[in-house]
A and B are shown apart, each in its own frame.
Chain A
């Protein structure tokens, strides 16, 4: 078990090096002048500044040297300076990351709860109308263009019936709670401000639902098939023979066994969530790294895109690592190679 985790850990730095190398190569392929990314426009006419920046970043050096310089900066957490915000990309990302995490965690909870509920329903009533409705609802979620469902639901629920507030994390001109975790909902509770908590929660609800719905499909399908498989196993037959009701067999016996395959796809679900978060944030004006990346991409802000890509990849690798560890822990029979 420990050896397995260590072996997985060892691959991480190599993958990160690969990710960094690809990001570096991509940034070298750009047609734009890299200086423009590093020097503020009004400083461009100052040859001393230009020369200093060139020397600092090794722009007067050959490609391999630049690569080493780039890696050196990266290790120190320096991702360059954004074109558009004129601030260090790392600072921008650090400031915006909690908003994205809050959205993704909320969506993950909604997606898992809905997926489990729908999976249970469709396994319990398989072959019936309930089964079909649950599966189609889940399937539509993973087939919808999230930037469209977000738009339509926002129009219906916010503009037409005012069930939820509009875009953003809080109403305009409302100050965020004091920063502790960066999650507005949690921070508002810590500050003891219930009104603010409700406002943050209602702003979070719709984007998190839209994003959660997108992962519900994968989870529902998996839960349903694991449950149906579980219901045909010997342990289920034994439970039935001992007089357990079908519902008890399902929830008490099949469901715990369905949790292991569920663990294995959480990493995969995370990929969906990142993709979805980028687009959801764009629709809901959510001030996270997704909307940052979209704005950067639209304005061809290469350092910012590169920075988000690297941070996103680290998060992605960590999620996959945690999934593998959780899986190995939950199912010790896993073959460790």
Chain B
């Protein structure tokens, strides 16, 4: 087998780019910049432990020092290096946002697909549930759930999934309703395919584009809400270097502006990057928005 593939590779040295590479090439410049920033943050999340940074949890200098060559973003009230804490903060904020968006997409899409495909009572129950959930202002619902479950990142994440799933239920339902009426689905049903198989094989694969674009856009918003919950004391607890709780520390030490500066810039770059990338993807794929 290895021998056979070897010459084949030589005959066709120019590989056709995969779908991701092709998409990337067609994106506008701003979206490429957004993707690059997000990629840099992802690399940071994976490799930050290996970087020659000060320990984010230990006192490494004098307290409340303004930015200097030794401490690029200064030190906080406990003499910890703010630059190091900001980069380590990504390890908290970014994986949590990924998990929250993934769970919201999974739950919302599942319920939305059932609602749209089967209709009837399923549709009524699920959509009324959606209506009630979106009747709450998002941050108040998240605060109420997080407070009831008790502070902590896991509970804050559950609260955020509860806030976000209805968006994906509505998106998926709308897509399924549209695709369900197409001829190939009719053909599959006429051919005697069981309903779940029709949904899985003939409908769902055509329904993901709006969901994925929306998930990209929402990623930054989830980072923002997670930081907000931590800021008001319902998310990460000290001493973990989470961006929201770092800004919260900075807010109590008003004159030492540098404590909050790094984490705020970190959030801003992530949110801006996802907006750029999400906008670019939407312009490419979502014909209805044009």
Contacts and interface: CB of A to CB of B under 8 A. Distances in A.
- Decide if the interface of chain B is mainly helix, strand, loop or mixed: helix
A139 B268 CA distance: 10
A324 B254 CA distance: 43
Given A279-B228, A309-B140, A15 B132 contact: yes
A298 interface: yes
Contacts of A283: 251
A305 B247 CA distance: 23
Interface string B139-170: 11101111111110000000000000000000
A16 B133 CA distance: 11
Interface in A58-91: none
Interface in B29-56: none
Interface stretch (B78-86, B177-185, B255-263): B255-263
Interface in B82-122: none
Contact of B261 (A29, A147, A152): A152
B91 to A, nearest CB: 18
Nearest to A306: B144
A143 B140 contact: no
B255 A159 contact: yes
A168 interface: no
Interface stretch (A107-115, A178-186, A312-320): A312-320
Given A140-B272, A148-B264, A298-B233, A278 B255 contact: no
Interface in A3-51: 11, 15-16, 18-19, 21-23, 26-27, 29-31
A274 B140 contact: yes
Interface in B227-281: 227-228, 231-234, 243-244, 247-248, 250-251, 254-255, 257, 260-261, 263-264, 267-268, 271-272, 275
A147 B254 contact: no
B75 to A, nearest CB: 18
Interface in A247-278: 271, 274-275, 278
B224 interface: yes
Contacts of B220: 143
A308 interface: yes
Q: Which 6 A-B pairs have the closest CB atoms?
A: A18-B132, A148-B264, A143-B271, A275-B139, A274-B137, A298-B233
A296 B232 CA distance: 10
Nearest to B256: A155
Contacts, number: 146
17 contacts: A11-B131, A15-B132, A19-B135, A27-B148, A139-B272, A142-B275, A145-B244, A151-B264, A155-B254, A278-B140, A293-B143, A294-B143, A294-B233, A296-B147, A297-B234, A298-B233, A312-B136
B147 A305 contact: yes
A300 interface: yes
Given A151-B251, A155-B257, A297-B233, A26 B144 contact: yes
Nearest to A22: B132
Interface of B: 128, 131-133, 135-141, 143-151, 220, 224-225, 227-228, 231-234, 243-244, 247-248, 250-251, 254-255, 257, 260-261, 263-264, 267-268, 271-272, 275
Of the listed residues B139, B220, B228, B250, the one surrounded by the most CB atoms of chain A closer than 10 A to its CB is B139
Given A145-B264, A151-B260, A283-B251, 8 more contacts: A18-B135, A29-B148, A139-B272, A145-B271, A159-B255, A300-B151, A313-B136, A315-B137
Of the listed residues B147, B231, B255, B268, the one surrounded by the most CB atoms of chain A closer than 10 A to its CB is B147
A147 B231 contact: yes
A162 to B, nearest CB: 14
Contacts of A302: 147-148
Of the listed residues B138, B224, B231, B232, the one surrounded by the most CB atoms of chain A closer than 10 A to its CB is B232
A282 interface: yes
Contact of B135 (A149, A155, A316): A316
Interface in A209-252: none
Contacts of B257: 151-152, 155
Interface in A286-335: 293-294, 296-298, 300, 302, 305-306, 308-309, 312-313, 315-317
Contacts of A194: none
Contact of A275 (B137, B248, B260, B271): B137
A243 to B, nearest CB: 31
Contacts of A294: 143, 232-233
A26 B138 CA distance: 15
A283 B244 CA distance: 13
Given A22-B132, A144-B268, A297-B232, A29 B139 contact: no
B267 A18 contact: no
A228 to B, nearest CB: 12
Contacts of A155: 254-255, 257
Contacts of B225: 275
Contacts of A316: 135-137
Contacts of A19: 132, 135-136
B228 A26 contact: no
Contacts of B260: 148, 151-152
B272 A282 contact: no
Given A152-B260, A312-B140, A145 B228 contact: yes
B165 to A, nearest CB: 14
Contacts of B255: 155, 159
Nearest to A271: B137
